[in-house]
Amino acid sequence: MTVRQVLLRKGSQVYAVPPKATVLEALQKLAQHDVGALLVMEGEALVGIFSERDYARRLVLLGRFSKDTRVEEVMTPNPITIGPEADLAEVMRLMTERRIRHLPVVEEGKVVGVISIGDVVKAVITEQEVLIEGLTRYVTENR
């Protein structure tokens, strides 16, 4: 299964904030959309990613305040991205090695979606269920 197939199932909705937004605004958007990360975009350009982990490690632990801090001050700049034709094994390896939970999907320089570790796990489980069902049917029919 490829990233494109996962995006076709889950949708390619992207939630983003500009770098000058306050962390409070970003947190409100995270809560509004019930997501764990937002892309940081300047127009169409991906400049970073802001996650709950960024909030906890770069703001709370440093004693800063959400309403006084801009996203660009605490975001992860130049995030790792993946193409839509990548297979899920590659995505899992990349996420595990880099210890990341969200990957922007970029095609021809344009963001076309975001894939999370939850999306990957769900897709792998679905793929395995289909395989098990097919094998069970095969065994049952060929007794």
| Per-residue pLDDT tens digits for 35-70 | 999 999 999 999 999 999 899 888 877 888 889 999
Q: How many Cα atoms sit within 13 Å of 115 on the Cβ side?
A: 30
Q: Which domain holds residue 82?
A: 3-141
51: left (phi over 0), alpha (psi -120 to 50) or beta: beta
Enter the pTM of the model: 0.85
The C-alpha atoms of residue 73 and residue 102 are separated, in whole angstroms, by 19
Domain count for the chain, please give it.
Answer: 1
The C-alpha atoms of residue 45 and residue 40 are separated, in whole angstroms, by 9
pLDDT of residue 29: 97
pLDDT of residue 137: 85
Using DSSP's 3-state secondary structure scheme, residue 91 falls into helix
CATH of the domain at 81: 3.10.580.10
Could you read off the pLDDT of 58-117 as tens digits, one per residue? 887 788 888 999 999 999 999 999 999 999 999 999 999 999 999 999 999 999 999 999
